[in-house]
Amino acid sequence: MIIRIIFVLISVGIAILVSFATYRWENPYIYPVIVFLATSAIVTTEYFIKRFQKENVAKIFKGVILGLILGVLFLIAAYTLRLRVDLFYGSIIYLITLYFGITVLSQLNFGGGFIATPPAPGFQTESLKILDTSVIIDGRIADLIDTKFIEGVLIVPKFVLEELQQIADSEDSIKRIRGRRGLDVLNRLKKDKNTLIRITDQDFPEIAEVDSKLIKLAKTLNAKIITNDFNLYKVAEIQGITVLNINQLANALKPVVLPGEKMKLVVVKEGKDPGQGIGYLDDGTMIVIDNGKKYVGDEVFVTVTSVLQTPAGRMIFAKVDHE
């Protein structure tokens, strides 16, 4: 915004110098006023166009072209019928056809390459996915992208970057490490030539919460959200936004464990209930072992008795084999 203001001021200053130096106008202030209005219009147009989706800008441009063509056809018809059309009525015709072109014709599909034909069902020209702070800090998104399971364009909002920066500058050492890890993950993604990642300045100053801004941005861009935040996942799902939850994906990819299956593991610590022991599979899944407290630190064979699936993950209950 500062650069735009400087541009306008410099343009007006040059106009004032030229106007007073040449005296081409009876009133030397007319030329600077005209330059001020013109540069302000240019800056305002550029400011708002940047906030349009490129598809909408393309539609408006096509509508203008169609409106001009329609206006020319009207004037040709008028001249053919020997109707007298002066400059005033000609301007009115062009304004009407331009308005009609932008509001109506730009929304129609004429095919032939002039108006883009919508992609076939199930296909998209550009799949947009917004990354939230939690999934960037987690870091697994980079490995997942390397496997080619996620395609399309990754969107990182500027307000997410600012939140990462705040975490990286935190006085809390753990938060500081997490924030710097998130920034390292972003740098890794940006350096990957096969990854399409974009930083967007689009913000919603009237909204304070970052999660609410993400939901609003997803609606605006018709994009999906990639997150590890369970609460954001639920809120976005209620509002009809597609959310890709990395934790859900990780749980879905864990090996299936069935009751009656036997396995060998180390009892790491005591459980919450009396006599229980806790062990873990290689993928981090917790196993609650009945009467396993006395085996803490030992490697034992256990038999799975039941499996409980929770929103936070999967819990497996087992008992020691020889009991």
d(CA 4, CA 49): 14
Tokens found for residue 46:
């550029």
Return all residues near 239 (Cβ < 8 A) that are at least 6 apart: 215, 219
CA distance between the termini of the chain = 74
d(CA 88, CA 95): 11
Residue scoring higher pLDDT (304 or 17): 304
Domains, the chain: 2-107 (no CATH), 128-252 (3.40.50.1010), 256-320 (2.40.50.140)
Nearest residue to 255 (alpha-carbon basis) of 229, 294, 277, 283: 283
With bands split at pLDDT 50, 70 and 90, how would you rate the model's confidence at 111?
very low
Task: For residue 4, give the amino acid letter.
Answer: R
With bands split at pLDDT 50, 70 and 90, how would you rate the model's confidence at 282?
confident
Q: Quote the pLDDT of residue 117.
A: 41
Query: pLDDT digit string (tens) for 58-100?
Result: 667 777 787 778 878 887 887 788 777 776 667 777 777 777 7
d(CA 61, CA 39): 21
Average pLDDT in the chain = 79
Which whole number is the average pLDDT over 208-218? Answer: 90
Q: What number of residues does the chain have?
A: 323
Query: pLDDT digit string (tens) for 190-199?
Result: 888 778 888 8
Phi, psi of 109 (to 5 degrees): -110, 110
> What is the DSSP pairing of strand 313-320 with strand 299-310?
antiparallel
Which whole number is the average pLDDT over 119-125? Answer: 40
Report CA dihedral (100, 104, 107, 109) to the nearest 10 degrees.
Answer: -90
With bands split at pLDDT 50, 70 and 90, how would you rate the model's confidence at 18?
low
Q: Quote the pLDDT of residue 279.
A: 92
Highest mean pLDDT among 128-137, 202-211, 247-256: 128-137
Q: Quote the pLDDT of residue 6.
A: 78
d(CA 208, CA 159): 10
**Region for 303 from its dihedrals, namely left if φ exceeds 0, alpha if ψ lies in -120 to 50, beta otherwise:** beta
Q: Quote the pLDDT of residue 311.
A: 63
Which whole number is the average pLDDT over 164-169? Answer: 91
Greatest C-alpha distance within the chain: 107
Nearest residue to 146 (alpha-carbon basis) of 198, 190, 189: 189
